[in-house]
């Protein structure tokens, strides 16, 4: 049986990078896999969060899942904090991961750089992420390129645990789509599109309105060559826009290149904005309909129950294997 688990942190406004690298894959994968899509709120608090905002954002991510097409009848949708086994196995995994391994994680280096103090949970973050995945015996984990290192570490930990304590965990595979796994900033194609960029025109948010999206794409940097061609090395900015176009239109990049052959960037950027708006508008409409609904809370409650049934069994198995007295 194939199982998928993945999640998007409720730590800020969701941008189209998260949609491209993660969410759109969830929709496709739920057709073929037994699916678990959760909201890693315990990961969000590894950096300071305003409590009121965190509550709201946690609902927002759940609403984005549903609005984008995650079907709660097929997939379990739940909050990480509602399934206690995450914190429990997270601790057990901390006992297995090495300090040196955690020190090599680039996300930790990026997020701690220049800060006077960071939480120890930011450092041990990958142990909890490994627990998230291993609890469900997930075979596949769809993520953006930036999470590859964490999934690789999860594989190492699962293998180490199995060798030391006996076969307990499935060793998961990351799923990283070739197109759209790393959407870059609109103002600088060497940086990942991220909400932490102080330039608001550098990213498109899932909730941006049509006028804002048009304005942001019109300002996106390109190059002086004036040809719509995919060449990430020499034309990183235009190649990034082509990837966005491809993800949001569902068309292959060569088809798009052909359409704009011999034309400059003006028309291409305008139409790119329309392609993104056409995809986002229906998602935004459903999002606003469900964000404050009872239905959303029912989905989360039901999802947590389904998730806990599996997670509790795995954590029990892991504890027994390690010699924790269980009775
Ligand atoms: P932060 O920048 O605060 O670390 P994030 O956007 O990387 O947040 P999440 O919101 O949890 O973190 O990301 C959800 C998923 O989206 C992850 O699988 C991540 O790899 C993917 N993702 C995030 N940004 C991008 C991007 N620019 N391009 C492609 N995928 C992305
Ligand atoms: N670390 C991820 C979020 C995350 C995750 C997971 C993704 C936490 N646990 C388990 C996939 C599977 C991030 O920062 N985007």
User: How many Å apart are CA 125 and CA 108, to the nearest integer?
Assistant: 8
Residues 300 and 246 occupy one common structural domain: no
Q: The sheet that has 75-79: what strands, in order across it?
A: 75-79, 34-39, 3-7, 140-142, 173-175
Structural domain includes residue 188: no
The answer to whether 206 touches 17, Cβ cutoff 8 Å, is no
Q: Could you tell me the residue range of the domain that residue 249 belongs to?
A: 200-287
Probe ligand 1: pick from 7, 22, 195, max atoms within 8 Å of CB? 22
Q: Tell whether 193 is covered by a domain.
A: no
pLDDT of residue 56: 97
285 is catalytic: no
Three-state DSSP at 155 gives helix
pLDDT in tens, 9-41: 999 999 999 999 999 999 999 999 999 999 999
Which residue is catalytic, options 9, 59, 192, 279?
Answer: 192
Q: Are residues 215 and 82 in the same domain?
A: no
Residue minimizing CA distance to atom 2 of ligand 1: 194
Nearest one of 105, 80, 110 to 7, comparing CA atoms? 80
Burial class (CB in 10 A: 0-12, 13-18, 19+), 60: buried
Pocket around ligand 1 at a 6 A CB cut-off: 8-9, 11-12, 17-18, 20-22, 143-144, 146-147, 181-183, 192-194, 196
Percent of the chain having pLDDT more than 90? 98
Cα 34 to ligand 1 centroid, rounded to whole Å: 23
Do 160 and 280 reside in the same domain of the chain? no
Show the tokens assigned to 63: 């609403």
Average pLDDT, the chain: 97
Burial of 166 (0-12, 13-18, 19+ CB in 10 A): exposed
Q: Residue 66 domain-assigned?
A: yes
Q: Does 269 participate in catalysis according to the annotation?
A: no
**Has residue 9 been placed in a domain?**
yes
Nearest partner of 44 among 91, 75, 79, 78, judged by Cα: 79
If asked whether residues 11 and 100 sit together in one domain, one would say yes
Which ligand 1 atom is at minimum distance from the Cα of 184?
Answer: 27
Clarify whether 258 is annotated catalytic: no
Residue 170 sits in the same domain as residue 207: no
Ligand 2 atom, smallest distance to 125 CA: 1
Q: Are residues 244 and 272 in the same domain?
A: yes
Q: Which atom of ligand 1 is nearest to the CA of 43?
A: 11
Same domain as 133, residue 229 = no
Atom of ligand 2 minimally distant from the CA of 43 = 8
Q: What's the pLDDT band for 223 if we cut at 50, 70, 90?
A: very high
37-51, 53-67, 190-204: which range is least confident on average?
A: 190-204
Distance from residue 325's CA to the centre of ligand 1 (Å): 39
> Is pTM beyond 0.75 here?
yes
Q: Which ligand is nearest to the CA of 133?
A: 2
320 Cα distance to chain centroid? 32
Residue identifier of the C-alpha nearest atom 23 of ligand 1: 18
CA 37 to ligand 1 centroid distance, Å = 15
| Mutational test site, ligand 1, from 18, 43, 132, 244, max ligand atoms within 8 Å of CB | 18
Same domain, 82 and 176: yes
Residues 261, 305 within the same domain:
no
Same domain, 225 and 157: no
Domain at 227, CATH number: 1.10.240.10
The number of domains in the chain is 2
Nearest atom (ligand 1) to Cα of 193: 27
Question: Using N-to-C axis directions, what is the helix angle for 51-68 and 265-290, rounded to 10°?
Answer: 110
Q: Do residues 213 and 315 both lie within one domain?
A: no
- Domain-embedded: residue 192: no
* pLDDT tens by residue, 118-157: 999 999 999 999 999 999 999 999 999 999 999 999 999 9
Determine, yes or no, domain membership for 116: yes
- In a shared domain, residues 245 and 173: no
Q: Does some domain include residue 204?
A: yes
d(CA 34, CA 219): 41
Which pLDDT band holds residue 110 (cuts at 50, 70, 90)? very high
In 3-state terms, what secondary structure has residue 172?
Answer: coil
- 312 found inside a domain: yes
Q: At 81, which CATH number?
A: 3.40.50.620
**What ligand has the least distance to the C-alpha of 153?**
2
């Amino acid at each position: 049986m194939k199982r998928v688990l993945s999640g998007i942190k409720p730590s800020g406004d969701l941008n189209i990078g998260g949609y491209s690298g993660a969410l759109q894959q969830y929709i496709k994968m739920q057709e073929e896999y037994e699916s678990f899509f959760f909201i890693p709120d315990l990961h969000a608090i590894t950096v300071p969060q305003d409590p009121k905002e965190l509550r709201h954002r946690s609902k927002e991510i759940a609403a984005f899942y549903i609005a984008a097409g995650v079907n709660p009848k097929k997939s379990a949708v739940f909050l990480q904090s509602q399934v206690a086994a995450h914190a429990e196995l997270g601790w057990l995994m901390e006992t297995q991961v090495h300090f040196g391994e955690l020190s090599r994680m680039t996300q930790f280096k990026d997020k701690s750089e220049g800060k006077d103090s960071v939480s120890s949970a930011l450092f041990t973050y990958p142990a909890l992420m490994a627990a998230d995945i291993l609890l469900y015996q997930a075979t596949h984990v769809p993520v953006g390129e930036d999470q590859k290192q964490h999934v690789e570490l999860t594989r190492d930990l699962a293998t180490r645990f199995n060798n030391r304590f006996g076969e307990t965990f499935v060793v998961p595979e990351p799923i990283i789509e070739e197109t759209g796994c790393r959407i870059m900033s609109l103002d600088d194609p060497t940086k990942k599109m991220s909400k932490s960029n102080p330039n608001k025109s550098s990213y498109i948010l899932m909730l941006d309105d049509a006028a804002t999206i048009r304005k942001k794409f019109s300002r996106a940097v390109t190059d002086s060559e004036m040809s719509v061609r995919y060449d990430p090395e020499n034309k990183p900015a235009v190649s990034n826009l082509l990837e966005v176009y491809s993800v949001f239109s569902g068309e292959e990049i060569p088809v798009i290149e052909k359409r704009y052959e011999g034309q400059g960037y003006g028309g291409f950027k305008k139409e790119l904005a329309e392609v993104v708006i056409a995809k986002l508008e229906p998602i935004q409409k459903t999002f606003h309909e469900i964000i404050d609904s009872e239905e959303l809370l029912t989905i989360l409650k039901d999802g947590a129950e389904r998730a806990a049934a599996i997670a509790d069994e795995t954590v029990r198995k892991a504890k027994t294997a390690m010699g924790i007295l269980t009775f």
